[in-house]
Amino acid sequence: MTEATLQPATPSAAMIRTLGLVATVCGVLIVTAYEGTLDAVNANKKLALERAVFKVIPGAAKVDEYFATPAGIQPAATGTPEGGVKFYAAYDQAGTLKGIAAEGAGKGYADTVRILYAYDPARQVVTGFGVVAMRETPGIGDKIYTDPAFLKNFEALDVKLSADLKSLANAVKVVKHGSKQNAWEIDAIAGATVTSKAVGRGINDSAQKLLPLLVPNLEKLNAAPQSRVSAFPPIAKGGEGGFEAAPTPSSTQNPPQPPFTKGGSDLASPRQEASS
């Protein structure tokens, strides 16, 4: 017991040697673990992303990540461009574009509510959303994905662009419970207004940024699913035929505003038609 006080101090060299040994062992362990799990982690991440996208875009079978930039659309694999907005293009088995998914975030009651919403380019509407992460009060805030009346808002939420394609024609707005009148309004959940507003703001902020960049370039997505392009040329049933596979009453009331024809690769064409 008393030897502790008498024991001479360990020489520095020994300490450095030990720490070096420990650091080496630990380094080897970490690198081994990293290398060993890398593939599985990446596969998991891809799977999780796909699952989230497939949930909001039924019928999709494949997801590609893109960035929308003022200069056009580029696949995410080529790097993260400055000022780019990330989105996901979902294709079905045949390689037809089923819809676009993008992330939105709005300040909720407890923390930021992060959602993934689905955008139908043909009808220019939001067709659904899923929660990516939130810390809202269970039993109250989670009504945003359990309350059928609230989810009905997102069957065809109007996000069409204004004539100049610079912003949404009508900003997505959350209104008090029971007072929804227009297709771009969201009827809030009574008692969970703050969380409802977070969803609405998340969609609005993201759509205001993404859609003006995305819509003029939709052509490219229609024609070019990243990896399936050669195997399944999307000519046979491509374009609008795919979107109208699941008709809803509102799809006839909301005809596609700037018509995206299959043929034209001229990026300016939707702009011209919309302004005419």
Residue ranges that bind other proteins, judged by CB under 8 A: 9-10, 14-15, 18-19, 21-23, 25-26, 29-30, 33-34, 36-37, 40-41, 44-45, 47-48, 133, 137-140
How far apart are CB 46 and other proteins at their closest, in Å? 10
How far apart are CB 195 and other proteins at their closest, in Å? 12
Closest to other proteins by CB, 6 or 40: 40
How far apart are CB 112 and other proteins at their closest, in Å? 14
Place of tokens 């359990």: 146
The count of other CB atoms within 10 Å of the CB of residue 117 is: 25
Closest to other proteins by CB, 42 or 93: 42
Closest to other proteins by CB, 19 or 163: 19
Angle at 27 between CA 23 and CA 30, to 5 degrees: 140
The count of other CB atoms within 10 Å of the CB of residue 174 is: 24
Closest to other proteins by CB, 71 or 133: 133
Nearest Cα neighbor of 106 from 116, 96, 119, 91 is 116
Q: How far is CA 147 from CA 96, 180, 200, 221, 250, in A?
A: 31, 16, 15, 33, 21
How far apart are CB 140 and other proteins at their closest, in Å? 6
Question: What is the Cα–Cα distance from 63 to 90, expressed in whole angstroms?
Answer: 5
How far apart are CB 1 and other proteins at their closest, in Å? 8
Closest to other proteins by CB, 44 or 272: 44
